[in-house]
Amino acid sequence: MERRTIGAAALGVGAIGLGCMPMSWAYSASEQSGEESLRTVHAALDRGMTLLDTADMYGPFTNELLIGRVLKERREDAFVSTKCGLLVGEQHIVANGRPGYVKRACDASLRRLQTDFIDLYQLHRADPEVPVEETWGAMAELVSEGKVRALGFSAVGARADHRNRPVTTGSGIHAATIRQLERVQGVFPVSGVQAELAVWSREALDSLLPWCVSHGVGFMAAMPLGNGYLTGTLTPGGGFETDDVRARHPRFTAEMMAANQPVVAGLRRVAERHGEVTPAQVALAWLLAQGREVVPLPGTKKERRVAENAAAADLALTPADMAELDALPAAQGSWE
């Protein structure tokens, strides 16, 4: 697979990564299988999808434990990105950016991941009670100690205290994120930024991605397949299990899923022009075409989806394809 570079640290990764969260967090628990997830991670590494994106809060903790089982065997094949800064309670997720906590969280992640170092350590969410420079300074010390190779900043979501669900990253959130990035950049270089970017959610193209390009920072596209919607495999009104985050998601009501069908239809039209290509592959290829700084992170727990996603790296969209995709409507229905 084509290789791309994660920002200031100039770390090479496969052009498409693997979002590991669905293996143990936020989606239907009945469809989660530890053994299948392990096969999925191995399959991703076999195809050059070297960036494995996880976080201590996924599970919590179980996602890192799962990835650790793979790293114990294949550490040299993988680029490990994990996150700190969020604590999971019974009903809320709360930010914690205190320097002492950050360092303890890193040590705990290293143990769960069964590795001596983390390639990219991301701040999952800035703590409104702690100056972001203090949190970032503690993370920078982890680099000097050899526990972390590079630092990243996650801009997925707006609130530090929310109810177990993602929040969209609109232009206002991106402006606030850029202000934070400017502050921490003076403490230690930012190598990667992770934020939502997809064909139906293009706000990051206005300011956040340009900021990354101008500062030599890698951009990891979260939710590149719209939490499964852009694959074209979800049926409006089909429903979700109660433990699936989409079951209480305004964008995934039957009405909103039906309203967003023109986006899927557009992806299908482009896919049909390329033969045996899926809407998901078109959506990922569109992201890759946004610039070499972009590394999509499609999340999956299924081995067959890894093969499909990896093949998107070889799909070359035409200027006409790109124009048609750029003209697709934005998603209806908020994350709120």
What is the pLDDT tens value at each position of the chain, 336 positions in all? 999 999 878 899 999 999 999 999 878 787 788 999 999 999 999 999 999 999 999 999 999 999 999 999 999 999 999 999 999 987 789 999 999 999 999 999 999 999 999 999 999 999 999 999 999 999 999 999 999 999 999 987 544 333 333 343 455 788 999 999 999 999 999 999 999 999 999 999 999 999 999 999 999 999 999 999 999 999 888 889 988 889 988 899 999 999 999 999 999 999 999 999 999 999 999 999 999 999 999 999 999 999 999 999 999 999 999 999 999 999 998 765
pLDDT of residue 237: 85
Q: Which residues contact 144 (CB under 8 A, 6 or more apart)?
A: none
pLDDT of residue 171: 58
User: Which CA distances in Å does 24 have to 62, 280, 302?
Assistant: 7, 22, 12
DSSP letter, residue 162: B
3-state secondary structure of 324: helix
pLDDT of residue 335: 61
Q: Are strands 118-123 and 148-154 parallel, antiparallel or unpaired?
A: parallel
Burial class for 3, CB neighbours closer than 10 Å (0-12, 13-18, 19+): exposed
Burial class for 91, CB neighbours closer than 10 Å (0-12, 13-18, 19+): exposed
Could you give the residue numbers annotated as active site? 58
Residue 113 tokens, joined:
């991941």
pLDDT of residue 190: 97
Q: Are strands 93-95 and 86-88 parallel, antiparallel or unpaired?
A: antiparallel
CB atoms within 10 A of CB 129: 11
Residue with token string 């991670």: 41
pLDDT of residue 29: 82
Kindly give the residue spans of alpha helices, DSSP state H, lying in 80-146: 99-113, 132-144
Residue 258 tokens, joined:
């039906």
- Is the torsion defined by CA of 283, 29, 69, 35 positive or negative? negative
The CATH number of domain 3-225+291-299, selected from 3.20.20.100, 3.40.50.280, 3.30.930.10, 3.90.1200.10: 3.20.20.100
80 with 69: CB under 8 angstroms? no
Residue with token string 């999952």: 124
pTM of the model: 0.94
pLDDT of residue 336: 54
Distance CA 203, CA 158 (A): 14
The half-sphere exposure of 108 on its side-chain side, counting CA atoms within 13 A, is 16
The half-sphere exposure of 277 on its side-chain side, counting CA atoms within 13 A, is 22
pLDDT of residue 333: 85
pLDDT of residue 26: 78
Distance CA 253, CA 121 (A): 35
User: Domain boundaries in the chain?
Assistant: 3-225+291-299
User: Which CA distances in Å does 132 have to 9, 84, 128?
Assistant: 21, 13, 8
Distance CA 334, CA 336 (A): 5
194 with 153: CB under 8 angstroms? yes
